[in-house]
Homo-oligomer: A and B are copies of this chain.
Amino acid sequence: MQAPGTLYLVPSPLDFGCAAQTSLADVLPVGTLVIAARLEHWICENAKSTRAYLKRVNQLQPLARALQELQIVELPHEVHKKGDHAGQFDARPLLAPALQGHDVGLVSEAGMPAIADPGSSVVRAAHDLAIPVVPLVGPVSLLLGLALSGLNGQSFAFVGYLPHDAATRTRRIHELESLALKTGQSQLFIEAPYRNAALWQALLQSLQPGTRLAVASGLTLPGAVNGSSSVGAWRQRAVPVRADTPALFAIGR
């Protein structure tokens, strides 16, 4: 029986959709670039941006094959929209090349696949098929932002997006603040860039003055903005978030 290939979890830079670009040498170890450059089979969210990413890899580490010869398949739209855990998507057919002995790369639009991004259905399928899975090192915005926050990094939770409806959002903010203050578990969340300013105002209005609030935007990019202080102190300062860059928010004590 043919030994299976390996599924590599390949991180990508955090500049997807941003005006500024990161140098890949700043965010990806040579070891990651070497493996990415030799993979001929890819599973991704979007083939066009995967090719753009691999073109950048090629500038530092020549690809083993021409871009147009690579096999790049996209995760179905149901996974993009609902996530990997709703709808019982079966990713096993995507891993056919791995069962035939080929190494396969899993990549998302930015950062680490399967973390705040699609991909975990593919990882589960690999484990189910006894295909080895190897995660490669690269940038993960959540963890860079958590380290930067000065909040408790021994106990923390990432809760995704907050609700959009103002009243529901305020209730959720109070719920997360209460959890963070009571248990000491830092609470992290994200928002679509164009809603950053509205979320920021809601946080300043809803949180207690003594609660610590941190924000990080444009991580690893030129023009990165970040800060961490009490809500009371933030109320005296200018709004630190922009409408064109993803941001990570964190609250704690």
Contact = CB atoms under 8 A, between A and B. Distances in A.
In the complex, the count of this chain's copies comes to 2
Contact of A27 (B31, B147, B158): B31
Nearest to A9: B147
Nearest to A86: B184
Interface hub of A31, A138, A150 (most chain B Cβ within 10 A): A150
Interface in A24-39: 25-32
Interface stretch (A95-103, A164-172, A194-202, A221-229): A221-229
Main secondary structure of the interface of A (DSSP, over half): mixed
Interface residues of A, number: 64
Nearest to A216: B135
Interface in A182-237: 184-185, 212, 219-220, 224, 226-229
A158 B160 contact: no
Nearest to A139: B137
Contact of A120 (B32, B151, B185): B151
A73 interface: no
A113 B153 CA distance: 9
